[in-house]
A and B are shown apart, each in its own frame.
Chain A
Amino acid sequence: AQSVTQPDARVTVSEGASLQLRCKYSYSGTPYLFWYVQYPRQGLQLLLKYYSGDPVVQGVNGFEAEFIKSNSSFHLRKASVHWSDSAVYFCAVGSNYQLIWGSGTKLIIKP
């Protein structure tokens, strides 16, 4: 069965430091992969997506993710985080015209 695992419920990083949020998926075939961000008391917003081609995809606000098929991973990265990046980040995989969601990772930025 298709599934998405985000192993870290919370990640704390210092402002200006680099970031990696982990996402592992289980899917037979070529996956469509997504990262969404949810700011406090708001809906989810699409951060970036991977359909095919270059395994490194760029998103908004300096975020990028790399699709590694051999590892079934789609980790999210950012070179230097800002306090405004504090949010919950969700990874998802497309399946049967729906999205299978991970449980989310809360990103906390230390000043």
Chain B
Amino acid sequence: EAAVTQSPRNKVAVTGGKVTLSCNQTNNHNNMYWYRQDTGHGLRLIHYSYGAGSTEKGDIPDGYKASRPSQENFSLILELATPSQTSVYFCASGTGGAYEQYFGPGTRLTVL
């Protein structure tokens, strides 16, 4: 069965600190996605990737960077974390053409 894992599951960070959220998929999917979920906003796309070495900006990329070093791994980086980035972050993988996406369990990030 498709598997997307995220680490850490919970994270408390300080304002101005660097945060890295990691995602690993064993589906051998080319596409990977990072979303944030906030009450009242649903899911919003931050960055996505079509394969190793590629990253693309989504709808809300400001304040975030992404890295796709391999087919399996996709990281989201907050260089200077701010309280407004407190949220739940979801990673997903997908084949692209079929549009189906498979989600990880989420990371709850609190920036104090």
Q: What is the interface of chain A, defined by CB distance below 8 A to chain B? A: 32, 34, 41-46, 49, 90, 94, 97-99, 101-104
The interface residues of chain A lying within 8 Å CB-to-CB of B50 are 97
Contact with A along B36-52 (1 / 0, CB 8 A): 00001111010010100
Q: Report whether B48 and A42 are in contact in the complex, using a CB–CB cutoff of 8 Å.
A: no
Q: Report whether A90 and B96 are in contact in the complex, using a CB–CB cutoff of 8 Å.
A: no
What's the tally of chain B residues with a CB closer than 8 Å to chain A? 23
Q: List 23 A-B contacts (CB under 8 A).
A: A34-B99, A41-B106, A42-B105, A42-B106, A43-B90, A43-B103, A43-B105, A44-B43, A44-B90, A44-B92, A44-B101, A49-B99, A49-B100, A97-B50, A97-B97, A98-B33, A98-B58, A98-B99, A99-B99, A101-B43, A102-B42, A103-B40, A103-B41
Contact with A along B90-110 (1 / 0, CB 8 A): 101000110111111110000
Q: Report whether B104 and A104 are in contact in the complex, using a CB–CB cutoff of 8 Å.
A: no
B95 CB to nearest chain A CB (Å): 9
In angstroms, Cα B4 to Cα A7, docked, is 30
B77 CB to nearest chain A CB (Å): 21
